[in-house]
Amino acid sequence: MPLQETEKIFQGKIEAEIKIEPKDWMPDKYRQTLIRQISQHAHSEIVGMLPEGNWITRAPSLKRKAILLAKVQDEAGHGLYLYSATETLGVKREQTINDLHSGKAKYSSIFNYPTLTWADIGAIGWLVDGAAILNQVMLTRTSYGPYARAMVRICKEESFHQRQGFEILLVLSGGTKEQKEMCQDAINRWWWPSLMMFGPHDSESTHSDQSMKWKIKRKSNDELRQNFVDMIAEQAKVLGMTLPDPEMKWNKQRRHYDFGEINWEEFWNVVKGNGPCNKERLDARRKAWDDGKWVREAAEAYAEKKRTKQKAA
């Protein structure tokens, strides 16, 4: 069958909301886009453990430690669901991980910001996970089957993440003057980077159009960002905290919140590797991989020994 014909059949399936499964024919570009996007998503989950891991031992109570530990463990799990989805597209796991370590593959820039206080853990749950969830809920309907299924599982687990974050801030916002200030300070620092998580404006986004046509994405960056702002602006009132944007106000006509312009120079700078923690994060990942080498080898040797024994028996 000529390529044009197969591509037409493929696009027809997409239009008819038939999911694409691993062994189905797909355009090379579709495969490439998914490999890039899903592996970036996986890396974000894995690198995302680092800023929070920073606070596991210092969380203010045993309860908070247990919760944070569970959340970080979930993120490891989410990374694995996504790595496994990436693998169905024909790339090896180790290759994917190498691409992260070599700096070739990207991950969400938000994780290149430091977690300075306990309130940051609350702000990450509320804002960062809140932004991620909007994106992920959209992706439960993405056209590639394994990605969509991974997203369903992730979304089920993720909602506790946002709630626990909000609750951390809620407790702080009802606390002492210092605790309130800490809460506001964390929100101030995480607000803009959270907005950046949705990526460049639709007019600037290089991948968006094609991704929408293939139904990999179903909402544009700006659309999702607006949803996020509308949601958070209301929730901030419950906390009695403010968002650090003087231009933010309800627009009756649009029935949405207006908000100020993102500092795109900062965004691109962090993407390019010049954020506050880019180097630290990658070093931590590489170190974990290198330090784990003997464990991987030992497990393999042990498995081999068991196999030999079984054969002999």
Partner 1 sequence: MNNFLRKYFYGDIPEDKGGDELKQSPQVLSTGEDSDWPLWEIFIRSKQGLDHKHMGSLHAADAQMAIENARDVYTRRMEGISIWVVESKYIHASNPDDAENFYEPAEDKVYRYPTFYDLPDEVKHM
Q: Which residues bind partner 1 (CB under 8 A)?
A: 21-28, 31-32, 35, 70, 73-74, 77, 80-81, 84-85, 87-95, 98, 102, 146, 149-150, 157, 296-297, 299-300, 302-303, 306-307
Burial of 63 (0-12, 13-18, 19+ CB in 10 A): exposed
Q: Quote the least distance from Cβ 44 to partner 1, whole Å.
A: 18
CB 200 within 8 A of CB 266: no
Q: For residues 148 and 140, what is the distance between their CA atoms, to the nearest angstrom? A: 5
CB atoms inside a 10 Å sphere around CB 16: 7
Radius of gyration of the chain (CA): 21
Q: Quote the least distance from Cβ 279 to partner 1, whole Å.
A: 19
Q: Quote the least distance from Cβ 305 to partner 1, whole Å.
A: 10
Name the residue among 110, 109, 123, 115 with its Cα closest to residue 55: 115
Structural tokens at position 194: 């959270």
Helix or strand or coil: residue 171?
Answer: helix
Q: Quote the least distance from Cβ 73 to partner 1, whole Å.
A: 7
Q: Quote the least distance from Cβ 115 to partner 1, whole Å.
A: 24
Q: Quote the least distance from Cβ 292 to partner 1, whole Å.
A: 11
Alpha-carbon separation of residue 83 from 46, 220, 242, 268, 284 (angstroms): 10, 24, 38, 26, 19
CB of 255 or CB of 293, closer to partner 1:
293
Q: Is the dihedral of CA 162, 168, 174, 176 positive or negative?
A: negative
CB 88 within 8 A of CB 149: no
Q: Quote the least distance from Cβ 309 to partner 1, whole Å.
A: 12
Placement of tokens 């909402």 in the chain:
219
CB of 28 or CB of 261, closer to partner 1:
28
CB of 88 or CB of 242, closer to partner 1:
88
CB of 156 or CB of 249, closer to partner 1:
156
Alpha-carbon separation of residue 273 from 46, 205, 227, 266 (angstroms): 17, 19, 28, 11
CB of 102 or CB of 263, closer to partner 1:
102
Report the relative pairing of strands 256-258 and 249-251 from DSSP bridges.
antiparallel
CB of 161 or CB of 219, closer to partner 1:
161
CB of 147 or CB of 257, closer to partner 1:
147
CB of 2 or CB of 90, closer to partner 1:
90
Helix or strand or coil: residue 231?
Answer: helix
Q: Quote the least distance from Cβ 227 to partner 1, whole Å.
A: 27
Q: For residues 158 and 131, what is the distance between their CA atoms, to the nearest angstrom? A: 11
